[in-house]
Structure 1
């Protein structure tokens, strides 16, 4: 039964849940050609269900985690609704789901709301679970690679550069045959952590070329808009002269932009993206077990890809019952395990969390408890 207040599952998650529920731990839970995700020998299983909602950026990773966990724990059911980070945080704060996936950490106001949602006024915490680059994808006949500095990217998405043969684009791509074709930027229609991280990058790196604040909603009237990472990917692929931004596992075989960093152009990859996270400190002012990061989107370090998102698993430190606490604790521990991180990386191209980081985060998850 769908938990009260839980919305319709996304297609990918629903297919996964139905397959996993009916398969009772068999390989039928997997996508065609997918290897069974490994699970730790000491994995903690629970009976019943745990529900979550949020980031579409981690949708593919979550499908993999659900498959791995439920294959190891046949009596457990994990429900995930890929509705976008903003909606996921709202559902969590309204107690409609047990935890949320969000590409942006809870802000100060949301932390206050969370103390009313969590048991005994306990805090909610941001636990980094998924680190992945945001790729800038495009569809332009005859062109399979582009170099774009941050100022040029900002002017394209701000609709100041409107045609592909603009001199500013041509300057950095002398060997490309750029057509006199109108550029169609595709942005998110929903409140999105991917948008918040992408606009955060433009704010930090593009200077006056991006005259907008960082935020989860697109700041200007869009040329074309789509729901979720999958929606942008489909819109860019179906168009001509289109360009958009997606979590890297949604790029399929589409062309991607190499981004200007310092005096070079850097390709999107897990290795180049992980360098930003490794050097990013935790946000000041948080509680002991809150691990929100201050990402340096404006870095000029060589070989570093700066457009990165970290998806957080947002959970209470105390729940009303031990049953709730146990289920959240067990599943998030699997997400943060070496096996869970490697499974997501193999499926999506994400950067697995370093071992010392995983140890620290799992120690925080182990402290999730109940009032009873």
Structure 2
């Protein structure tokens, strides 16, 4: 097995091998250590995958082949541009199919995809299954960008809607059925019309649904349904498949409400502000990024994993806690050097400054802070074959 790690990692391998040899062995054990030493020497001579040329400009000119990925539909606007640009700066083709986070993660585990786009992390069962596909270290998450989830409302003549977590929970659970309900009115200075409310949810297994229900479970005492990627089956409502599906349905529903990646919500819809810390926080990339800064890392993954436990019930003013991290999920070990090189190259591009700016323009995303970009590059270094 060969590694893409930089030269600094290869030196550690060499020192370890020398230490083992100095212990004194014989026979088959000695031959095994000789083999380890030879592999370490080869690794120490390997300069690692350096995709930068002079001036810090990324260079993927020698990268070729086809890389297939699939997953979250919320990734689609940014991913479309990333794929187009990567084809121009390399000799590679990347295909991405918007099938939802759950099916994307399943496709990675089964080998259908070389990487997955997901707004939710692998569950324990998926982590275990990934070891069969991705080697003993399994799969790891890269935070590719940070995106707020919009609570989108279709109400003619209304420019602003304020909601608390509890009020949103009652709306989505069907307890509040009209926009002039007193429980909504207490959060809004201007009276809202008596229009009936139509709730629209995702019909597919969705990371966006999982993030929404996690927020409600943590921040709304009156939400009585389990968090997960599937909409609670006991709640009857209208639905659509994928981000595009719910937004298309919202167009036809005056008084409708749904949830979607903020960058894909048309300007004609109102994006609700959320009550946090005694104030109403407008949706913005900055407020979403602040929510991630207040969150902790998820434990239990491989050493290069970068998944988070988001702080949904924060009271920090100026924070928008209904947020999702757009992850790409990668194998730590691929079947061939070519596939590993291609995966490492595309992952490196995704966390680059240029790609982060592209995501901000295409999807209204918040770029990764510099310290996370640096950590992500170290995580990518661990990809092997």
TM-score (norm 1): 0.86
Residue 99 in structure 1 maps to residue 112 in structure 2: no
Pairing 1:1-372 to 2, within 5 Å after superposition: 41-45=57-61, 46-73=63-90, 75-119=91-135, 121-176=136-191, 178-207=192-221, 209-219=222-232, 220-253=234-267, 254-370=269-385
Partner Cα separation in structure 1 for residue 225 and residue 302 of structure 2: 30
Task: Compare CA radii of gyration and give the structure with the larger one.
Answer: 2
Unpaired stretches in structure 1, ≥5 consecutive residues: 1-39
Contact 1:58 1:130 in 2 (8 A): no
Alpha-carbon deviations, 1:52-100, whole Å to 9, x = none?
Answer: 0001111111112112211212x21000001100010111111011110
Q: CA offset at residue 293 of structure 1?
A: 0.4
Alpha-carbon deviations, 1:316-342, whole Å to 9, x = none?
Answer: 101111111011100010001111111
Partner Cα separation in structure 2 for residue 317 and residue 174 of structure 1: 52
C-alpha RMSD of the superposition: 1.3
Range that drifts further, 80-89 or 216-225: 216-225
Partner Cα separation in structure 2 for residue 71 and residue 222 of structure 1: 46
Partner Cα separation in structure 2 for residue 159 and residue 102 of structure 1: 28
Q: How many residues align?
A: 328
Unpaired stretches in structure 2, ≥5 consecutive residues: 1-55
Alpha-carbon deviations, 1:221-255, whole Å to 9, x = none?
Answer: 33100011111111112211100000011111121
SS for the counterpart of 2:86 is helix
Q: CA offset at residue 42 of structure 1?
A: 2.5
Partner Cα separation in structure 1 for residue 324 and residue 350 of structure 2: 17
Contact 2:137 2:302 in 1 (8 A): no
Q: CA offset at residue 279 of structure 1?
A: 2.1
TM-score (norm 2): 0.83
Partner Cα separation in structure 1 for residue 207 and residue 294 of structure 2: 21
Contact 1:126 1:290 in 2 (8 A): yes
Q: CA offset at residue 297 of structure 1?
A: 1.0
Contact 1:43 1:334 in 2 (8 A): no
Q: CA offset at residue 291 of structure 1?
A: 0.9
Q: CA offset at residue 141 of structure 1?
A: 1.7
Partner Cα separation in structure 2 for residue 202 and residue 238 of structure 1: 26
Q: CA offset at residue 179 of structure 1?
A: 2.3
SS for the counterpart of 1:277 is helix
